[in-house]
Structure 1
């Protein structure tokens, strides 16, 4: 398995599509096709599914898929912490993991943004994969939600999950239960007892999973 290449491709494909999207698809295909890796198959299938779709139309689909539903957002700690004070500690812990590896993420994006976490895992495979594994329940919840939504992006999440070691949750309900218990305590700076939280709390209108950035 060439995990870094697959995770980097997934990171790119989960970014917001723009006018350079057709070239991006060609780049991903060119990088993954020679690998002949099973984990790359869902990504290539996604590329085929969206190939030829105008960037403006795909952009609208992207917004409808990820930005207009709390159940399909790309911010991992939202699934475990929701809009709670605990989430701030979780975000700070992820940022410290980046800094420990000498990696400086963009200042205009939250550190739990899945494409950012995937890029980190591609560049720093050991600690990056460990971070993904700790937040695997959130990734799996998103995968199941995208599948239920019949979104081609479900294949991108499938490729990510196929790259992770060990077995994932067997069903959506198990993934949701694990997400509610939160990642391991040491990754969020919490005490030894995990706290069960609803990952989809009722929140005031106008807020989104990115917090007060809008």
Structure 2
């Protein structure tokens, strides 16, 4: 059964509202630090211009960011995203776990970015990191990011459920992202239930002949992802840092 699906062909939000929502989510899912606190007025200004649903969700986290001691937030961030695997911000983890097949999925992300003229700083973050994908979609190519996010829609839902269980302060941030995407369909609901029950896949047998069975950062010639359906209007050729300013 396929667990990646591309449902609604276009977003419901305007291009500007979608880009601003994705950019703000990308920044707010980064590790909280003094720079993030310094940017609070800008974040609030951007959130205030968003549609009501996204505005309310993101403002809820901004209020938490404003009133919670930074050290407490930083510890909570590490405990949530760096220690708890169910709260991983790497989209391919949910459907591939730590199997070697995940390398193939990571190559697809990187190749999709490269086909749009964007080279990632692989020493900074893997290409499936949610903040990276959202930064790419907000600043470079919405259509490619839209497809990648929808292919991993189940993973985003699993992340939301894990944050809900922890009563995490980052739940409204992920909810804001979720509000920009299509709802799960029937097949995805089945896949979601199975992954909740079983967790991410374990290493499989017989992967030696897989097209890419090593860390994709070591693969000098990754197979290209077919992006003929994607729009590549602007060739930017830049490096995207996680949560980089637009």
Query: Given that residues 140 and 169 in structure 1 are in contact (C-alpha distance below 8 angstroms), is that contact kept between their aligned partners in structure 2?
Result: no
Q: Structure 1 CA distance, aligned partners of 2:98 and 2:49?
A: 43
- Matched with 1:163 is 180
SS, match of residue 20 in structure 1 = helix
The equivalent position to 1:73 in structure 2, one of 81, 84, 88, is 88
Instruction: Name the counterpart of 2:221.
Output: none
Does residue 18 (structure 1) correspond to residue 39 (structure 2)? The answer is no
Q: Higher helix share goes to which structure? A: 1
TM normalised by structure 2 equals 0.69
| Residue pair 1:76, 1:112 contacting (<8 A) in 2 also | yes
The question of 1:87 aligning with 2:95 is answered no
Instruction: Tell me the residue number matched to 1:142.
Output: 159
Greater relative contact order: 1 or 2 (C-alpha under 8 angstroms, separation 6 or more)?
2
Give the structure 2 partner of residue 199 of structure 1.
Answer: 200
Alpha-carbon distance between aligned partners in 1 of 2:195 and 2:54, rounded to the nearest angstrom: 24
C-alpha distance in structure 2 between counterparts of 1:66 and 1:173, whole Å? 24
Contact 2:94 2:155 in 1 (8 A): yes
Report the Cα distance in structure 2 between the residues aligned to 1:36 and 1:85, rounded to whole angstroms: 41
Shift of 1:38: 2.0
Over the residues paired in the alignment, what is the CA RMSD in angstroms? 2.5
Match 1:9 to one of 24, 27, 51 = 24
Residue 49 of structure 1 corresponds to which residue in structure 2? 64
Q: Where in structure 1 do 4 or more consecutive aligned residues deviate above 3 Å?
A: 172-175, 177-180
The alpha carbon displacement at 1:174 in A equals 4.6
- CA distance in 1: counterparts of 2:20 and 2:74, whole angstroms: 24
**How far has the Cα of 1:161 moved from its partner?**
0.7
Instruction: Give the secondary structure class of the aligned counterpart of 1:35.
Output: coil
Equivalent-residue separation in structure 1 for 2:191 and 2:131 (angstroms) = 20
TM-superposed CA distance for 1:75, in Å, is: 0.8
* Structure 1, unaligned runs of 5 or more: 181-196, 203-210
Task: State how far apart, in whole Å, the 1-side matches of 2:194 and 2:41 are.
Answer: 37
Count of residue pairs brought into register by the alignment: 186
